[in-house]
Chains A and B, each alone.
Chain A
Amino acid sequence: RKEVEQDPGPFNVPEGATVAFNCTYSNSASQSFFWYRQDCRKEPKLLMSVYSSGNEDGRFTAQLNRASQYISLLIRDSKLSDSATYLCVVTLLNTGNQFYFGTGTSLTVIP
């Protein structure tokens, strides 16, 4: 069983739309959670960390549900520049900060 599962999409949405991605994780001992963004043929870059209380950064909101073992990313007012693959990441306790990546969700924002 994979540590992290994501819907690969693709999600094709018009500019200005709101889109949400979910990610489930299998290990209840998962410690830290992140969303990374990866542009085509580039390296992943941190979009935001995900905290138990939820956190917001401009148009982006991340939430964690430990009871159901999923994290979510909400993007409001989508821009063309949001087109990318979004990677869900979890770490496990006592694994030396090993990252476990989902396969990524592809988003294309259409004019």
Chain B
Amino acid sequence: DGGITQSPKYLFRKEGQNVTLSCEQNLNHDAMYWYRQDPGQGLRLIYYSQIVNDFQKGDIAEGYSVSREKKESFPLTVTSAQKNPTAFYLCASSADRGRDNEQFFGPGTRLTVL
């Protein structure tokens, strides 16, 4: 079955540690996205990538880094520079087909910083 997978589902980290969240898709989509969702808030864009080896900052990129070495994979690293990393992280992908590009979401990773 085609889809997007994220791992792990739950992640606990000590303050000051970097952590990498995995996102893989087998939909053959060109574009991939990382969002953060906090309680009672909408999704906010962290980074996005429209093509392999290229990515752009979203609205809240500070304290995060990404790579896009393969079309299928778009890992997100939450660095120790991110002040409030505890959140629900969602990865999404979309095909490059003009208008109405639905974004498909993975199941998310809940990160808690202890």
**Residues on B with beta carbons closer than 8 Å to the beta carbon of A49:** 100, 102
**Residues on B with beta carbons closer than 8 Å to the beta carbon of A44:** 43, 90, 105
Q: How many A-B residue pairs have CB under 8 A?
A: 54
Per-residue CB contact flags for chain B residues 37-72 toward chain A (1 = under 8 Å, else 0) read 000111111001010000010100000000000000
A-contacting residues, B60-101, CB 8 Å:
88, 90, 92, 94, 96, 99-101
**Chain A proximity of B56: nearest CB distance (Å):** 7
Q: Is the CB of A43 within 8 A of B107?
A: yes
Q: Of A42, A99, A103, which contacts B45 at CB under 8 A? A: A99
Q: Is the CB of B31 within 8 A of A97?
A: yes
- Cβ-based interface call for B8 (8 A): no
**Chain A proximity of B32: nearest CB distance (Å):** 11
**Residues on B with beta carbons closer than 8 Å to the beta carbon of A41:** 88
B-contacting residues, A32-56, CB 8 Å:
32, 34, 41-46, 49
Known: A87-B42, A97-B31, A104-B42. A34 touches B105 (CB 8 A): no
Per-residue CB contact flags for chain A residues 38-78 toward chain B (1 = under 8 Å, else 0) read 00011111100100000000000000000000000000000
Per-residue CB contact flags for chain A residues 1-20 toward chain B (1 = under 8 Å, else 0) read 00010001000000000000
Q: Is the CB of A32 within 8 A of B100?
A: yes
Q: Is the CB of B42 within 8 A of A102?
A: yes
13 A-B residue contacts at CB 8 Å? Answer: A4-B42, A41-B88, A42-B107, A42-B108, A43-B90, A45-B105, A46-B103, A97-B50, A99-B43, A99-B92, A101-B44, A102-B42, A104-B42
Given A31-B99, A97-B50, 18 new contacts (CB under 8 A): A8-B40, A32-B99, A32-B100, A42-B107, A43-B108, A45-B105, A46-B102, A46-B103, A46-B104, A49-B100, A87-B42, A96-B50, A97-B96, A101-B43, A102-B42, A103-B40, A103-B42, A104-B42
Residues of B near any A CB (own CB < 8 A) = 31, 33, 35, 40-45, 48, 50, 56, 58, 88, 90, 92, 94, 96, 99-108
